[in-house]
Amino acid sequence: MTRYITMRVLSTIPVMVLVALFVFLMLRLAPGDPASVIAGDYATAEDVARIREQLGLSDPIVVQFLRWVGALIQGDLGTSIFSGKPVTELIGQRIEPTILLALTTIIFAVVVAVPLGTIAAFRAGSLLDRVVMLFSVSGFSVPVFVLGYILIYTFSMSLKILPVQGYKSPLVEGFGPFLYHITLPTVTLSVIFIALIARMTRASVIEVLEEDYIRTARAKGQSELTILMRHALRNAAVPVVTVIGIGIALLIGGVVVTESVFNIPGLGRLVLDAVLARDYPIIQGLILFFSFIYIFINLMIDLSYTLLDPRIRY
């Protein structure tokens, strides 16, 4: 057991190294010299040379990579070219809204999607099931920002019951204003997630309901509802939890867009501003940061399998 956990934790190292290598190479090998990009269209050759030196771009690529990884291990994600601040500091300043939006979204999505998917599976083929499936396929088809604007148009501009944009910190302005402002972004971002989880829950529960041990439970005289709750749900959990983990990547992409639509000063906005400013250390640092979060969450999910299913012992 401990051995499995150790092995699984260690196995994230090569993946993290690979991600670091990808991100590093992507920025170094991409067509176009970062130095001249940073220097801008009107820079002189001297300006470019100075920036090259400053970024250490004249050194051999292996040296550059090792230096960069060495810094990474010490928790240094680099320094912003324009503000001169460490990327970690910038992330620290912007992380709160992003984390909270992600959390409210996951909680809301799971709370809505799992019961929805379960009921759809339990009544497979019924009208309710079809409505859930229609919702789910539509949820995959509407771009998240279009959905955001539709919700703003309906609830903020027409009904005027929720604010159009903005973010209020629960730590500074209090929990009420926070909820008031986070509701629309959360719902917007949740839709695709709900679609994903509800679909997987439904599929997984339907599959489990065909299993022999469900028949055994019926042979015992157990009621259908208890069969669903006690025998089916826990067996159906592993694929659902897995899809939540995979969905984290979707969530991260969605956060960037949602923050942009609702004008939330989070990490997504930081990325977009950095892209516009071509501030490469920030882009690099943020991609790494998000990737490591994804790897960490999926590590946790893998480890949670052992709690969900006693057969999984390594």
* Near another protein in 111-150, by CB under 8 A: 124, 137-138, 140-146, 149-150
Instruction: State the alpha helices, DSSP H only, in the chain.
Output: 2-29, 34-39, 45-55, 61-73, 87-122, 127-139, 144-151, 175-209, 212-219, 224-226, 233-262, 267-277, 280-308
Are 143 and 71 contacting, i.e. CB atoms less than 8 angstroms apart? Answer: no
222 binds another protein (CB under 8 A): yes
- Subset of 86-115 contacting another protein (CB under 8 A): none
Distance (Å, rounded) from C-alpha 139 to C-alpha 199?
11
- Subset of 5-44 contacting another protein (CB under 8 A): 7, 14-15, 18-19, 21-23, 26-27, 30-32
DSSP 126: S
- Subset of 286-305 contacting another protein (CB under 8 A): 286-287, 290-291, 294-295, 298
End-to-end CA distance of the chain: 6
For the stretch 278-298, what's the b/e string if a residue is b when 16 or more beta carbons lie within 10 angstroms of its beta carbon?
A: bbbbbbbbbbbbbbbebbebb
Q: Which is nearer to another protein, 93 or 154 (CB)?
A: 154
- Write down the least CB distance from residue 98 to another protein, Å: 12
CA–centroid distance for 231 within its chain: 31
- Write down the least CB distance from residue 170 to another protein, Å: 25
283 binds another protein (CB under 8 A): yes
From 9, 218, 229, 300, residue interacting with another protein (rule: CB under 8 A): 218
- Write down the least CB distance from residue 162 to another protein, Å: 14
Distance (Å, rounded) from C-alpha 242 to C-alpha 123?
24
CA–centroid distance for 310 within its chain: 28
- Subset of 261-280 contacting another protein (CB under 8 A): 271-272, 275-276, 278
Q: Which is nearer to another protein, 46 or 212 (CB)?
A: 212
- Subset of 172-211 contacting another protein (CB under 8 A): 199, 202-204, 206-207, 211
Q: Which is nearer to another protein, 3 or 46 (CB)?
A: 3
219 binds another protein (CB under 8 A): yes
Q: Which is nearer to another protein, 15 or 303 (CB)?
A: 15
Q: Which is nearer to another protein, 178 or 228 (CB)?
A: 228
Are 110 and 103 contacting, i.e. CB atoms less than 8 angstroms apart? Answer: no
- Subset of 224-253 contacting another protein (CB under 8 A): 230-231, 234-235, 249, 252-253
CB atoms within 10 A of CB 251: 22
Phi-psi region of 96 (alpha: psi -120 to 50; beta: other; left: phi over 0): alpha
